[in-house]
């Protein structure tokens, strides 16, 4: 359990960022890939990607998540090519935004090691410890780690007729075991997140069940990250194409925030920031930005 001595959930630390229980951080997606499922390579070019970093920071991003390999099927991308896409870029972002928390979306320990040396603060391992060295790499570099769930699938593999006795129990068991292993290897517990990893190794009903029962993962007291943005479970639930999934994404975001998730990986940063700010204000942990009504 990630608790203080008083039994309260721990703060989450990503670089200089501290996310306390009840607070929400937006993780902006920066894909250095020519074939990303949502933006179709819009930030593959170096300059466009740097401009997008500037934009999302202005829109309220707390963390940027930089990836060099498409999650799903596509052309083979080896470690050397992944680093060609990400290493110089991570270095440039760190130089351009010295205090910005940088996450790197990779399952390869060798890639994570190089990127952490260049300034990354968090390793977003979306493939559930497929490379057993990745937790040790995070520890060696004093970086954080995202512990995810894929139902045992190898990287870049889509699920097919996957089944669980209880998908939420499986997610809780897998992610907390990975978090505990990371702690044993020397990763600071305050720098570990768990991610139910919607769509990865799951069908739409599984992802809906995870969202509905997200409080069970939050109850483990490991800080929870959710990556909901424009995913297929949103598209299938509403029967809408990728370009029309923002409303469904924001609905799932609000439900997850109310359940206690702390970090939200998103394409649409401004809208996600506003939705989370509204939730925080309803909770009473954030005052309204202005208060004029009925006061004049």
* Residues involved in catalysis: 231, 265
Report the alpha-carbon distance of residue 64 to residue 97 in Å, rounded: 11
Under DSSP, is residue 3 helix (H, G, I), strand (E, B) or coil? strand
d(CA 183, CA 176): 10
* DSSP type of residue 67: E
- 114 three-state secondary structure: helix
Q: Which residue has the tokens 């006061």?
A: 295
Distance CA 121, CA 145 (A): 9
CB–CB of 210/171 below 8 Å? yes
Instruction: Return the exposure string of 65-90: e unless at least 16 CB atoms fall within 10 Å of the residue's CB, then b.
Output: bbbbbbbeeeeebeeeebbebbbebb
């Amino acid at each position: 359990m990630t608790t203080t001595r008083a039994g309260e959930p721990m703060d989450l630390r990503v670089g200089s960022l501290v996310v306390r229980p009840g607070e929400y951080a937006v993780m902006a997606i920066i894909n250095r890939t020519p074939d990303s499922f949502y933006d179709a390579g819009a930030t593959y070019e170096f300059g466009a990607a740097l401009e997008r970093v500037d934009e999302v920071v202005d829109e309220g991003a707390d963390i940027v998540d930089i990836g060099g390999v498409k999650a799903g099927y596509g052309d083979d991308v080896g470690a050397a090519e992944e680093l060609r896409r990400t290493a110089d870029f991570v270095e440039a972002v760190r130089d351009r935004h010295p205090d910005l928390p940088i996450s790197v979306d990779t399952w390869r320990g060798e890639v994570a090691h190089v990127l952490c040396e260049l300034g990354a603060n968090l390793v977003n391992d979306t493939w559930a410890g497929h490379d057993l060295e990745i937790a040790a790499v995070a520890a060696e570099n004093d970086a954080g780690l995202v512990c995810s769930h894929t139902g045992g699938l190898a990287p870049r593999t889509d699920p097919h007729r996957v089944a669980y006795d209880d998908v939420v129990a499986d997610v809780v068991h897998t992610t907390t075991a990975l978090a505990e292993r990371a702690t044993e290897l020397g990763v600071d517990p305050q720098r570990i997140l768990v991610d139910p990893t919607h769509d990865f190794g799951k069908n739409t009903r599984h992802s809906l069940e995870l969202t509905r029962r997200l409080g069970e993962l939050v109850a483990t007291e490991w800080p929870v990250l959710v990556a909901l943005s424009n995913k297929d479970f949103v598209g299938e639930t509403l029967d809408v194409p990728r370009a029309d999934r923002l409303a469904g994404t924001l609905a799932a975001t609000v439900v997850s925030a109310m359940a206690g998730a702390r970090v939200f990986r998103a394409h649409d940063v401004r809208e996600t920031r506003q939705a989370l700010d509204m939730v925080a204000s309803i909770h009473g942990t954030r005052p309204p930005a202005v208060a004029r009504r009925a006061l004049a």
